[in-house]
Amino acid sequence: MTIRDSIIELLTELFDEDDLEVPDFNDDLVLLETELDSLGYAVLVTRLEEQHGIDPFSAMDEPVYPTTLGEFVAVYEQHLAPK
């Protein structure tokens, strides 16, 4: 499973848990325009940290705020890529 798959799986779970409408997940999806709020976002980051051992946002020197799902996935891909 790629990091993209696991992000989408976790997002689906979160929307499902909160009885929210599950959006169509594509790279242009603007995360803050979904019903996911900052608490949901925090839960997503926590669970990804548990699965992949990293919270890229706390590891950053310069803060990056991804707007779309594509950018969010890219942040994880970048941090998980072999250096």
Residues at the interface with another protein (CB under 8 A): 13, 17, 38-39, 41-43, 45-47, 50, 55, 57-58
**Residue located via tokens 């020197």:** 61
Closer to another protein by CB, 11 or 45: give it: 45
Q: How far is the CB of 79 from another protein (least distance, A)?
A: 12
Contact 69, 25 (CB under 8 A): yes
Separation between Cα atoms, residue 16 and residue 22, nearest integer Å: 7
Q: How far is the CB of 29 from another protein (least distance, A)?
A: 18
Q: Which DSSP letter does residue 30 get?
A: B
